[in-house]
Every structure is written in structure tokens, then in C-alpha cells.
């Protein structure tokens, strides 16, 4: 009899820092679908395999759950009664959910007015204490680091090394499913925890000869929030992709190492390009991710168009979060597609259908 799926810590227990007596705090995260794109490669006329790892199908709708199951498990093991994070939205939702699951308190610092509606609603529902600051994520992050020295709270941002341990399992899943590592792995980059975690995962599998290759890591940022492209932290990050509105990435050195060791690169894309990729994925593949996530596809398509990523490549793009989290952007994206209102009778419905065929 097969046991039902109980999350990524159980699945990859021998590669994670848990013992037989550790109480696992899990919401059955991970095991997200790896979906091969069918229509977009044909439309761009390129002979490539593009897969998207749809992390928006985690329990709270983002990849953060992979790191949070590990971080909260370890916080509880160490006796913590409360966790804290700064967040552009997804980390706060995830921290709040896992704290609820564990029966401990969650405090989240968020930038005032700059987080997507769905993320705020989730975090409230999971009953976290939300502290909005008159400042951006980077300022919130500095405050969290300071306050953790003065209050009995465990930081669960990705500076907590257990976060990256959990997140590296996404690379394991991809290799376990494909039987190989992709040639290129494309990711949106904010704090750069995720790109660092994937690189760690791919490296562990390559070192242990689970697979023979490692991908080139491609990190894509929003043009108004692109410190890795600038080569230094930036002061006032701005982008419609609020999840990655980050100017001072916390995993700077690890991400630079991932880029250099893999022969990869960082690049930046405008809000317009990011939103176009988000719409394209929804419209032509039926996959609805949040704006920040679409930076991975925007980058892959651009690098394919210039030949930087050659034809014949196998590419994985991580779609970090679910599109439903940001309904306001989605409605703006579709402002021209106004629903028609008609009389409630058969004739009118028939006409409405025939008119738009
Ligand atoms: C959808 O929630 O930093 O490069 O505070 O929510 O590992 O930071 C979110 C980041 C990409 C960037 N896509 O990942 C937070 C937060 C989505 C995200 C990123 C985030 P990192």
C-alpha cells in the first residue's frame, strides 16, 4: 500500500537536516507539476523543449512553501514560539500558514500598499500579525534582522539557511521527473534565495551522480529592480511585479556563485515585457502565474530570440507564484476584454456566441 503524499521533507528526508524524532510541519507542499509548453514554442518557430515548473500550485500558491516547511519545522524543533519575516507578500502568506499549522505566532512586515491583494487576504486569513511599514521590502528586511536580536522570534526569510534547504528540492523533483537536468534553468530573481537553492540542489544531485549534467542558471529581474544587472544594490526599486520589488538582495554572494559556476547570466526586462509574458502563458497555454513569475519566460523567450539560448535546448522556467494572488493586475491586463451584458433569454445568448465566433 502506498502512503499518501506528506510533503517534500518526507520525500527527500535523507537529503534534508531532519532526524527521526523531528516533528515535521507540512502542508503536503512540493510535487508541483512540470508542464511542457506546447503552443508557445510553435508560435515562436523554435525547436525547443520548454517546461514550466508551476510552483503556484503549492499550498499557499508559491514556491515559498518549500522553504517554509523546512524553516518552520526547524524553528519548532528549536523551541520557537514565534516566527517573523519581511515580505513582498508571498513569504508572509507562507510563513503565516505554516505558523498556523504549527500552532505558533507569525509576525510579518510588509511594504505599505505594495503587496498583491490575494497575498494580503491570505495572510490575514491565516491570522498572522501584519505590520505595515512606511517603507519598502529592503527597509523591512533590515528592521527584521535588528528586531530578532531584541525579541524571541525566529527569522524565516531566506537568510535562514533552512529555507534554501527546502527550496533545493525543486531541482530534485525536476531531475527525478525528466531523468536529466535541463540545459538552461530560468528564474525570476528578487532576494536571489531561489536561484541559489536550485543551484545547490542541482549540484548535490550532480555530485552524487543522480544525474550527469547541471543547467546554466539564468536569473531575470524587473528593469526597475535589477541590482544584479547593475552590479550593486539599488535604492528605490520599482516594478509592477511587486513580488520582486527588491533592491538589496539578501543572497547576493550565493547567486553570483550560481551564475558564475553555471556559466549563466542575469538580465532585466521591462514591466511591459513581463506582463506580455504573463498574458501569453495564460492565453496560449492555460497557465496563470503572477507577474513576477513571468519574468522567467520573458527572459527565456528573449534569449531564444537572440540565439543566446540555442535551438535544441531543454529549458525549465520556474513559475514561482499563482496568478490568482494578484487579481488587480489580471483585471488591468484584460481591461479591453469587457464582458458583454445581455438579456437572459436564449436568443440573446445565441447571438452573443455567434457574434464572437
Ligand atoms: C512570486 O515574498 O521576496 O529571488 O518576500 O514572491 O528567492 O527572492 C518573494 C520573492 C520570485 C523572488 N517570484 O525569489 C517575498 C519575496 C515570486 C516571489 C520571487 C519572489 P527570490
Mean pLDDT over 309-320 rounds to 98
Closest ligand 1 atom to the C-alpha of 89?
2
Residue 136 Cα to ligand 1 midpoint, Å, equals: 14
The crossing angle, in degrees rounded to 10, of helices 291-306 and 271-285 is 90
Q: Which residues are within 8 A (CB) of 239 and not within 5 positions of it... i.e. 6 or more apart?
A: 222, 223, 224, 225, 245, 271, 274
Q: Quote the mean pLDDT of the chain.
A: 97
pLDDT tens digit sequence for 122-174:
999 999 999 999 999 999 999 999 999 999 999 999 999 999 999 999 999 99
Prediction pTM value: 0.97
Answer yes or no: is pLDDT of 44 > 60. yes
Closest ligand 1 atom to the C-alpha of 87?
5
How many other CB atoms are there within 10 angstroms of residue 31's CB atom? 14
Q: Which residues line ligand 1 (CB under 6 A)?
A: 62, 87-91, 158, 188-194, 243-244, 290, 292-293, 320-321
Residue 191 Cα to ligand 1 midpoint, Å, equals: 7
pLDDT tens digit sequence for 338-357:
888 999 999 999 999 999 88
Q: Which residue has the cell 505599505?
A: 112
The residue to mutate among 95, 168, 188, having the most atoms of ligand 1 within 8 angstroms of its beta carbon, is: 188
Answer yes or no: is pLDDT of 265 > 70. yes
Q: Which residue has the cell 494578484?
A: 326
DSSP E strand boundaries for 55-194: 82-86, 105-111, 129-133, 154-155, 184-188
Residue 2, pLDDT score: 62
Residue 241 Cα to ligand 1 midpoint, Å, equals: 10
Residue 15, pLDDT score: 98
Show the domains of the chain with their CATH numbers.
Answer: 8-61+163-333 (3.40.50.1100), 64-159 (3.40.50.1100)
Residue 119 Cα to ligand 1 midpoint, Å, equals: 12
Amino acid at each position: 500500500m502506498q502512503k499518501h503524499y506528506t510533503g517534500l521533507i518526507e520525500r527527500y528526508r535523507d537529503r534534508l537536516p531532519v532526524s527521526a524524532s523531528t516533528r515535521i510541519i507540512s502542508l503536503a507542499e512540493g510535487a508541483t507539476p512540470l508542464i511542457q509548453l506546447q503552443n508557445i514554442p510553435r508560435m515562436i518557430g523554435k525547436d525547443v523543449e520548454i517546461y514550466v515548473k508551476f510552483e503556484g500550485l503549492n499550498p499557499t500558491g508559491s514556491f515559498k512553501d518549500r522553504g517554509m516547511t523546512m524553516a518552520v519545522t526547524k524553528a519548532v524543533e528549536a523551541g520557537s514560539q514565534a516566527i517573523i519575516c519581511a515580505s513582498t507578500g508571498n513569504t508572509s502568506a507562507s510563513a503565516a500558514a505554516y505558523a498556523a499549522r504549527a500552532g505558533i505566532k507569525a509576525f510579518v512586515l510588509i511594504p505599505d500598499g505594495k503587496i498583491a491583494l490575494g497575498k494580503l487576504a491570505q495572510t490575514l486569513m491565516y491570522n498572522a500579525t501584519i505590520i505595515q511599514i512606511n517603507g519598502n521590502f529592503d527597509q523591512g528586511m533590515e528592521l527584521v534582522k535588528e528586531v530578532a536580536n531584541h525579541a524571541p522570534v525566529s527569522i524565516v526569510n531566506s537568510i535562514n539557511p533552512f529555507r534554501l534547504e527546502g527550496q533545493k528540492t525543486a531541482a530534485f523533483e525536476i531531475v527525478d521527473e525528466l531523468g536529466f537536468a535541463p540545459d538552461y534553468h530560468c528564474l525570476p530573481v528578487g532576494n536571489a534565495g531561489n536561484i541559489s537553492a536550485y543551484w545547490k540542489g542541482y549540484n548535490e544531485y550532480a555530485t552524487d551522480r543522480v544525474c550527469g549534467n547541471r543547467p546554466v542558471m539564468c536569473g531575470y529581474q524587473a528593469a526597475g529592480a535589477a541590482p544584479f544587472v547593475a552590479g550593486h544594490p539599488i535604492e528605490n526599486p520599482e516594478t509592477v511585479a511587486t513580488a520582486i520589488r527588491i533592491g538589496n538582495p539578501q543572497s547576493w554572494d550565493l547567486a553570483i556563485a550560481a551564475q558564475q559556476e553555471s556559466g549563466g547570466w542575469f538580465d532585466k526586462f521591462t514591466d511591459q515585457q513581463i506582463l506580455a509574458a504573463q498574458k501569453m502563458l495564460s492565453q496560449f497555454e492555460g497557465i496563470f502565474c503572477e507577474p513576477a513569475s513571468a519574468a522567467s519566460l520573458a527572459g527565456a523567450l528573449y534569449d531564444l530570440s537572440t540565439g543566446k539560448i540555442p535551438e535544441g535546448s531543454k529549458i525549465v522556467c520556474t513559475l514561482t507564484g499563482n496568478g490568482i494572488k494578484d487579481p488587480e493586475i489580471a483585471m488591468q491586463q484584460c481591461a479591453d476584454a469587457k464582458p458583454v451584458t445581455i438579456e437572459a433569454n436564449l436568443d440573446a445568448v445565441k447571438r452573443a456566441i455567434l457574434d464572437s465566433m
